[in-house]
Structure 1
């Protein structure tokens, strides 16, 4: 669509027609970009065409005629759905002025390419990120864990100066849009405030401290550690989980995903959902190439965590597949809710009947569920440390990020204070800025919804009618309905910490 030839619009029907045409063009561009990004992750190569397409996308979104169109109509339309559509576009334009700025796009691409093509070395041997993570989780050899930990973060020194430059650029552009910092901008776009989010994260840490500290003390004693080093924490908590990895073989993951989907009325093949194994700088990644082709990328290992990650990514895939909205702006749910819908499915892997289906004896299920709490705590606390660190960096980019992160990990994870440079090796800070809190908020959302489904259906797992309702009231509307409104309407309250705290306590007392 040529935005320079937009006809004069006289009414809402004509406005909708213009928006529909424009969004079809944008969707085509986004699908081309997604397909090339998928190729880049698979082939570990640089693809210059991505930058060209992103530039085209930016030129469309930031076209002055389109911006004027949105601004001229947003306060005057009567139709509530159209008004929300325009309101979301207005927000998206503000974000795009930051994310699609040429200097930010180029610097982000440069850092991303360097991370994807980086060669990890552990004890003079080439390695990959999946192997390194597996060493940190499962190796009883402390010196090997230390070597793997050092290798994982060795790239940080090279990236740090440019990542700080990127953060300053994001801040400067966010201020032009009227926000104090870029972090404030992102959170407010998601219907939250920085203070509110910090309070939620700190309340969760405070409420769970007694349980977590007990687990650390028991683990430290079990392993005979005088102190818990950064390269010890994952192994300690995995050891406390101590679930036989042979019960969760990686070669069965895809079959288990398909089986769960089929039981609940979702044929993954017909939905176009497919798992692809490759080494990526994330635990897992879901990429929607188009409405009928969704890829789940992973580098799995034997063990429970890989299953949990893949069910989380399945949640993303199902959320995308069952989103009924044609408008591209309504297909983009907010970060917290997007992760909440993924975590809703990830929770299935803690269900007694699902564990029984993995061949775990019914007498062992109580013990297994109780042990899962340790790795769950690591998941929540590590992400909280990353999120709170990121807020401070955006508030004051002149600070020492490694010192801040070291203090956060010391306070929240209970490890020794170690200021080894590592903060810039966090790929989320590059590609998914101010996103870490969404994983914690996702657990709050998932716990809240699961408790409501338990009351009415007996749960989500094993109840296809409950899954159909999830598709209808949570997936289907996409962003056409505010995510906090969905929670309030269907669970009786907006986002709260209560349900998750009860779940954490339940798994210990169960």
Structure 2
């Protein structure tokens, strides 16, 4: 058996080189929509697959993981664990894995270039959002909602094929299916996860029913229809994953004439976190052929952090930019002296927690006074309604998240079932939304995550839970009722959450930060009770 350093060091150099090149190609592909960059991205990912597919390396890695010396060196052992998580899914047939990468990239490219056809012309996702938030004609809303699902029809067959390929690869790697393998590699216990989800379903069912009843009453007035006539297109988001503007809470006007980028920069600076360098490298505004979504990417784990966005001057994009820069500051303030593999967040859910913690602030009255120039008296008047609005937002998101997690769980267990029917059964169960009569379309495939970010959504839900935990943790640490405009807020996050990187598992990080593991009690206390 080779020495640990002769095994580990050259492989880590290769991983760093290929992963950095892959990230750069992905950035170019999603900011330009050019197929040459998609091909480069596919090539680098396939190079990584070849690296991680070595059976000889994998056997050596398992031996080193079992070696007593490795277990005594915690940083070394953690690197070996994370490296094993890369080798495990790449042990199946190389041609199969290459096919998976190619199909994933094709679907991603389809979403990047796709523009909805509406009234005979292509329009952006932002324009669909504008219609669903502002149009009062139900017929026009229906056309916009149905148009938002067009991409689903185009990619559905390929997504199902991809699901089957992923399952086949997971079985070759020794797992029941891709879903089970993904949770294992994410260091999530399936039983614990679904226990938390069951608790959330139980605690939110009646509050959500009551909140949606009030929302539906508002919709009957807005659209001059009866409750029985309310359909999916009457909500302000194509998937009903966002809370619509309420009658007495209109946040968009506060951002109409504002510089959202400058607000974001100032807010983070006020809590001791500098985002100037991240914003300078970012691509923030709409352009033809550019990916219409938003993401943050750490190109090299050495400080090259960027955000892709399509900003408009409204509350949604203000919240989204805060969210993405939440990811960005986490990446930025990880200890740079750590080895390459450990210069990442402890877990996807921990970086989502920070992003969600930041994104919620646009519904915080104090934040609106400080950064959106809302008069103090007006903010006080809106205080209770904003609190109720944020609770509604959280209820809506959790119920939507339950749709996604349960759908993926069932899809990977049986991809040959009627997925259109499965989707609507879950939408009706968790979101209390009626399926349009006679509709039998692959609406599920219009959600980009299902094809290109599989088995990810549970991390959004767990991230929201941790964000609520952080809310109470920071207030307790600062012995104050606010964490805004306090550099001690950023200092706390750097010390407790960011700096450790991935040198310990996420559940140990959380226990070290507040003395207990992930607990849904805090989310329920903040938003449900």
1:444, 1:495 within 8 Å by CA — same for their partners in 2? yes
How far did residue 354 of structure 1 move? 1.0
1:456 has 2:477 as partner: yes
1:4 is matched with: none
How far did residue 18 of structure 1 move? 4.8
How far did residue 275 of structure 1 move? 5.1
2:339 is matched with: 327
How far did residue 499 of structure 1 move? 0.5
1:93 has 2:87 as partner: yes
2:464 is matched with: 443
**What is the distance in 2 between the residues matched to 1:312 and 1:107?**
29
Partner of residue 494 from structure 1, selected from 517, 521, 529: 517
1:268, 1:274 within 8 Å by CA — same for their partners in 2? no
**What is the distance in 1 between the residues matched to 2:475 and 2:462?**
20
1:382 is matched with: 400
How far did residue 446 of structure 1 move? 0.9
2:381 is matched with: 364
**Structure 1: segments with no counterpart, 5+ residues:** 1-7
2:157 is matched with: 161
2:233 is matched with: 231
**What is the distance in 2 between the residues matched to 1:288 and 1:138?**
36
2:93, 2:169 within 8 Å by CA — same for their partners in 1? no
Cα pair distance change 1:16/1:252, threshold 3 Å? farther
Q: How does 1:5-404 map to 2 (within 5 A)?
A: 9-10=2-3, 15-16=4-5, 18-47=7-36, 48-76=39-67, 77=70, 78-97=72-91, 101-224=97-220, 225-227=226-228, 228-234=230-236, 237-240=243-246, 242-249=249-256, 251-270=258-277, 274=282, 276-278=284-286, 283-290=293-300, 291-325=302-336, 326-332=338-344, 333-357=346-370, 358-362=372-376, 363-366=380-383, 367-404=385-422
Q: Mean alpha-carbon deviation: is it higher for 314-323 or for 173-182?
A: 173-182
How far did residue 348 of structure 1 move? 3.4
Q: Mean alpha-carbon deviation: is it higher for 264-273 or for 399-408?
A: 264-273
Residue by residue over 1:375-422, the C-alpha shift from the partner in whole angstroms, topping out at 9 and shown as x without a partner, is: 333322222211211111011111111111111111111110244321
2:352, 2:463 within 8 Å by CA — same for their partners in 1? yes
SS of alignment partner, residue 239 of structure 1: coil
**What is the distance in 2 between the residues matched to 1:343 and 1:426?**
20
Q: Mean alpha-carbon deviation: is it higher for 188-197 or for 172-181?
A: 188-197
Cα pair distance change 1:21/1:465, threshold 3 Å? farther
TM-score (norm 1): 0.90
SS of alignment partner, residue 284 of structure 2: strand
SS of alignment partner, residue 66 of structure 2: coil
**Structure 2: segments with no counterpart, 5+ residues:** 221-225
SS of alignment partner, residue 299 of structure 2: strand
How far did residue 456 of structure 1 move? 1.7
**What is the distance in 2 between the residues matched to 1:282 and 1:434?**
21
Q: CA-atom RMSD, angstroms?
A: 2.4
1:482 has 2:502 as partner: no
**What is the distance in 1 between the residues matched to 2:234 and 2:91?**
42
1:274, 1:295 within 8 Å by CA — same for their partners in 2? yes
Cα pair distance change 1:251/1:37, threshold 3 Å? farther
SS of alignment partner, residue 171 of structure 1: helix
Cα pair distance change 1:281/1:231, threshold 3 Å? farther
**What is the distance in 1 between the residues matched to 2:256 and 2:92?**
43
**What is the distance in 2 between the residues matched to 1:440 and 1:230?**
23
How far did residue 99 of structure 1 move? 11
1:245, 1:304 within 8 Å by CA — same for their partners in 2? yes
Partner of residue 431 from structure 2, selected from 407, 413, 420: 413
1:99, 1:105 within 8 Å by CA — same for their partners in 2? no
SS of alignment partner, residue 265 of structure 1: coil
How far did residue 221 of structure 1 move? 1.9
TM-score (norm 2): 0.87
Residue by residue over 1:154-188, the C-alpha shift from the partner in whole angstroms, topping out at 9 and shown as x without a partner, is: 12223112211111111121122222221111112
2:31, 2:291 within 8 Å by CA — same for their partners in 1? no
SS of alignment partner, residue 126 of structure 1: strand
1:120, 1:126 within 8 Å by CA — same for their partners in 2? yes
SS of alignment partner, residue 238 of structure 1: coil
2:473, 2:514 within 8 Å by CA — same for their partners in 1? yes
**What is the distance in 2 between the residues matched to 1:56 and 1:112?**
19
How far did residue 281 of structure 1 move? 5.5
How far did residue 282 of structure 1 move? 5.9
**What is the distance in 1 between the residues matched to 2:324 and 2:451?**
20
How far did residue 269 of structure 1 move? 2.2
1:3 is matched with: none
SS of alignment partner, residue 327 of structure 2: helix
- Matched residue pairs, number? 495
**What is the distance in 2 between the residues matched to 1:99 and 1:491?**
43
Cα pair distance change 1:469/1:95, threshold 3 Å? farther
